[in-house]
Amino acid sequence: MPYVHIRVTDEGVTAEHKRLLIEGTTRLLEQVLNKPPASTFVVIEEVPTDNWGVAGETVTALRQREG
């Protein structure tokens, strides 16, 4: 019973994006590991950019500097 946890920042991830991620991840596990889709769980967690850090900074700060 595969369990896949996908974490992304909460920057415009649509319901369609999530549907495609779940569908694609399930298909990949079926193709590569022969895991049945009915027992494959995919969870998508959206994390606020203030709660995601890289190189000692929040993603919020990085995005502000980039933009």
Question: Which residues carry out catalysis?
Answer: 2
- Asked if 45 and 4 touch (Cβ cutoff 8 Å), the reply is no
CA distance 45 to 7: 5
Cβ 47 vs Cβ 8: under 8 Å: yes
